[in-house]
């Protein structure tokens, strides 16, 4: 049986990993909707606004950036250190809870995911890697990590 403090950390680790995956999937889905439709800057802004509202980030986003653009939205949702709900901050909190709680093999995978996000930036993701490819890597790494955690404690 896990000690209470470890159980608490594992619970929050799971919540953070779930939030990370959900955020990546929402961002990826919106990106695909924008690619499928006819280019219309007015509608594009409305769609990005919808993503920000769905994630509860609309007001914080406008305080920081002031106007909608794909670059600004991706930066705020994925990499902004001032956004408590950014993917970077979410994985950072998961890493803090996993450190000393998870077995080394699982923590190594968690740390790889953390470094993947921490070492990325909006410009590189949008212009070189591709947003979909980056988010797919994040989702797949997260699924691997969650599977490792489940196997360790469930079986």
- Tokens coding 114: 């953390």
What pLDDT was estimated at residue 8? 81
What pLDDT was estimated at residue 86? 94
Alpha carbon dihedral 80, 81, 87, 90, in 10-degree steps, equals -160
Q: How far is the C-alpha of 73 from the C-alpha of 52, rounded, in Å?
A: 8
DSSP type of residue 78: I
Entry pTM: 0.86
pLDDT in tens, 94-140: 999 989 888 899 999 999 999 999 999 999 998 888 999 999 999 99
Contacts of 32 by beta carbon, 8 Å cutoff, 6+ apart = 132
The percentage of the chain sitting over the pLDDT mark of 70, rounded to a whole number, equals: 87
Which band of pLDDT confidence, cut at 50, 70 and 90, is reported for residue 36?
low
Please compute the mean of the pLDDT values over residues 72-99 and round it to a whole number. Answer: 94
Please compute the mean of the pLDDT values over residues 135-148 and round it to a whole number. Answer: 93
- Tokens coding 139: 């989702």
Residues 90 and 24 sit within 8 Å (Cβ to Cβ): no
pLDDT in tens, 41-61: 666 667 788 889 888 899 999
């Amino acid at each position: 049986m896990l000690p209470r403090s470890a159980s608490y950390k594992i619970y929050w680790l799971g919540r953070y990993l779930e939030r990370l995956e959900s955020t990546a999937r929402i961002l990826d889905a919106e990106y695909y909707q924008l690619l499928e439709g006819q280019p219309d800057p007015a509608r594009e802004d409305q769609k990005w606004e919808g993503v920000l509202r769905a994630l509860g980030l609309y007001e914080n986003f406008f305080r920081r950036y002031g106007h909608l653009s794909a670059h600004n939205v991706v930066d705020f949702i994925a990499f902004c250190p001032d956004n408590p709900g950014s993917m970077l901050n979410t994985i950072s909190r998961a890493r803090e809870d996993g450190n000393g709680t998870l077995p080394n093999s699982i923590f190594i995978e968690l740390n790889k995911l953390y470094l993947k996000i921490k070492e990325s930036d909006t410009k590189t993701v949008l212009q070189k890697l591709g947003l979909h490819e980056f988010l797919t890597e994040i989702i797949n790494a997260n699924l691997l990590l969650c599977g490792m955690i489940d196997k360790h404690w469930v079986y």
